Amino acid sequence: MRTRTFLKYYPPLHCLLMITLLYYGQVCDYGFKRLLCYWAFSVSAALFSWMVLKLEIPAFNTWDQNLPNTPREDRPRAGFFPLFHMGWIKNLP
């Protein structure tokens, strides 16, 4: 997924959904765990599908390929930032 809105909002919402699922499974001994698993999967799939339909497809159709922030095959994500600096490898004995 390429748009910054998708990258910003989908992972936290999906993690919140999974944390809710795990918390419910830990707290409720005889709850509707299978039903909640189906519900969590359905909500996650619906959220993913909605974001693809409302964010990704319109962005793909309206982006100018010549702009510097447009993702391309050689630079797939516009908001990419490396987490680790790999310069420390040269300092190893």
DSSP state of 56: I
Rounded CA separation 92/27 (Å): 47
Q: Which helix (H) or strand (E) holds 10?
A: helix 4-27
Is residue 7 within 8 A of residue 79, CB to CB? The reply is yes
Residue 9 has pLDDT above 90, yes or no: no
DSSP state of 63: -
User: Does the reported pTM lie above 0.85?
Assistant: no
Q: pLDDT band at residue 1, thresholds of 50, 70 and 90?
A: low
Q: Report pLDDT digits (tens) over 17-59.
A: 999 999 998 898 887 888 988 999 999 999 999 999 988 888 7
- Give the residue, 17 or 60, on which the prediction is more confident: 17
Q: Return the number of other C-beta atoms located less than 10 Å from residue 10's C-beta.
A: 19
Q: Report pLDDT digits (tens) over 61-89.
A: 777 777 776 666 676 665 556 666 666 66
DSSP state of 68: T
